[in-house]
Amino acid sequence: MRIYTLKKTIDNSLRARSDNQGIDARRSWIIEQFAALIRKGTIPKSDEWVQVILEWFIVHGTFTIKKKSQKSSISAVCIPPFPIKVWLSQLGTQIHSVPSPPYSDHLRRQCRERLLGCLADLTRLSIVTKMAEKAQRFTGIALDGQLWLSRVAEIIRKLEKDSKHVALLSELDEDDRGKLEQACGTVAWLRKVRPRFVLRVFSSEIFECQVSGDQREQADGVELLLQSFIIQFYIEDSSEGRDTASLEVRCLFSH
């Protein structure tokens, strides 16, 4: 319900003024608010609403919504279930329709920037869970043990397949596409080689947990790098150019 309240705020503010400039300003304000919610360390995070915000950033930053869907699992594309929908439409919100006027390029870039900023924050963020005797600290992952970056990459890829309802703003060329698929393949392969442990299962045997945890760590580290590249493929503006040239020089330089 809290999520819908968030979205209600958005749409309410859209209703307040109808001229384009006012809408842009309000949308921009909302983007900042969302980013601030994630950045602020004192706000207790739950996976649910963090994911909703990330989805919202992704959908509005890298996709255009063609049509809202009843069944989509992505909240920003999904039409809410019946009672909430009625409640929201009484408030006169836009939640069941495609946002109009569409988001401007400036706002989209802002969404993308904030998304990367939020991911940086979430990657640094650690959660402390109480195990049998001692508290253990995990950094950069959601409660189910998945990296936040992996989750975002998954959402993007899921949305990309749903071409009926959303469309990717910038098409990738074949070269990038090939690299992307290869990177995704490697991530899947890594997971097969170093199976993922669910956080809750860790607690029982300390010795075993440490050994497997150590190997797992390295796989996580590599996966983090790969996922960041994947996300960059989608998110970075092609006009700004991916600054890979200097990195390639560096790679060659290593012995």
Q: Which residue ranges make up the site for other proteins (CB under 8 A)?
A: 116-117, 119-121, 123-124, 139-140, 149, 179, 182-183, 185-186, 189-190, 193-194, 210, 214, 217-222, 224-226, 228-229, 243-244, 246-248, 250-251, 253-255
* Residue number, 174 or 243, with CB nearest to other proteins: 243
* Residue number, 168 or 222, with CB nearest to other proteins: 222
* Residue number, 85 or 216, with CB nearest to other proteins: 216
* Residue number, 2 or 255, with CB nearest to other proteins: 255
Q: How far is the CB of 245 from other proteins (least distance, A)?
A: 9
3-state secondary structure string across 172-200: CCHHHHHHHHHHHHHHHHHHHHCCCCCHH
Q: How far is the CB of 196 from other proteins (least distance, A)?
A: 14
Q: How far is the CB of 202 from other proteins (least distance, A)?
A: 15
| CA distances to 69, 91, 95, 96 from 79, in Å | 6, 15, 7, 5
Question: How is residue 31 written in tokens?
Answer: 């983007």
Q: How far is the CB of 193 from other proteins (least distance, A)?
A: 5
In three-state secondary structure terms, 137 is: strand
Dihedral sign from CA coordinates of 113, 118, 119, 123: positive
* Residue number, 19 or 175, with CB nearest to other proteins: 175
Q: How far is the CB of 224 from other proteins (least distance, A)?
A: 4
